Amino acid sequence: MKVELTVEPLGSWIDTNGKPLIIAGPCSAETEDQLVETARQLKELNAVHVIRAGVWKPRTRPGSFEGMGEAALPWIQRAKAETGLPFAVEVATPEHIELALKYGVDILWVGARTTVNPFNVQEIADALRGVDVPVLVKNPVNPDLALWVGAFERLAGAGISKLGAIHRGFATGEASKYRNVPMWQMAIELKSIFPQLPLIGDPSHMAGKRAYLNELAQMAMDLNYDGLIVESHIDPDKAWSDAAQQLTPAAFGDMLDHLQIRQVESQNLEFQSFMEQSRRNIDNVDRQIVEMLGARMALVERLAEYKRDNNVTLFQPDRWKEILKTRTELGKKLNLYPELVEEIYKIIHMESIRKQTEIIHSATQDV
Ligand X SMILES: O=C(O)C(=O)C[C@]1(C(=O)O)C=C[C@@H](O)C=C1
The dihedrals phi and psi of 235, each to the nearest 5 degrees, come to -140, 75
- If binding is defined by CB under 6 A, does position 316 make contact with ligand X? yes
- If binding is defined by CB under 6 A, does position 274 make contact with ligand X? no
Residue 258 or 302: which CB sits closer to ligand X?
Answer: 302
- If binding is defined by CB under 6 A, does position 320 make contact with ligand X? yes
Interface residue with ligand X, options 323, 324, 344, 360 (CB under 6 A):
323
Residue 132 or 305: which CB sits closer to ligand X?
Answer: 305
Whole-number Å distance between alpha carbons of 132 and 161: 8
CB of 312 to ligand X, least distance (A): 8
Instruction: Point out which residues pair with 54 in neighbouring strands.
Output: 28
- If binding is defined by CB under 6 A, does position 251 make contact with ligand X? no
CB of 307 to ligand X, least distance (A): 7
Whole-number Å distance between alpha carbons of 266 and 129: 41
Q: What is the number of the residue whose Cβ is closest to ligand X?
A: 352
Written in H, E and C, the secondary structure of 49-99 is: CEEECECCCCCCCCCCCCCCHHHHHHHHHHHHHHHCCCEEEECCCHHHHHH
Residue 113 or 327: which CB sits closer to ligand X?
Answer: 327
- If binding is defined by CB under 6 A, does position 300 make contact with ligand X? yes
Query: Binding string, 342-361, against ligand X, x = CB under 6 A?
Result: -------x--xx--------
Q: Are 53 and 26 in contact (CB under 8 A)?
A: yes
Name the segment binding ligand X (CB under 6 A); options: 11-19, 55-63, 87-95, 316-324.
316-324
Name the segment binding ligand X (CB under 6 A); options: 139-147, 164-172, 269-277, 317-325.
317-325
Q: Which residues bind ligand X (CB under 6 A)?
A: 300, 303, 314-316, 319-320, 323, 349, 352-353
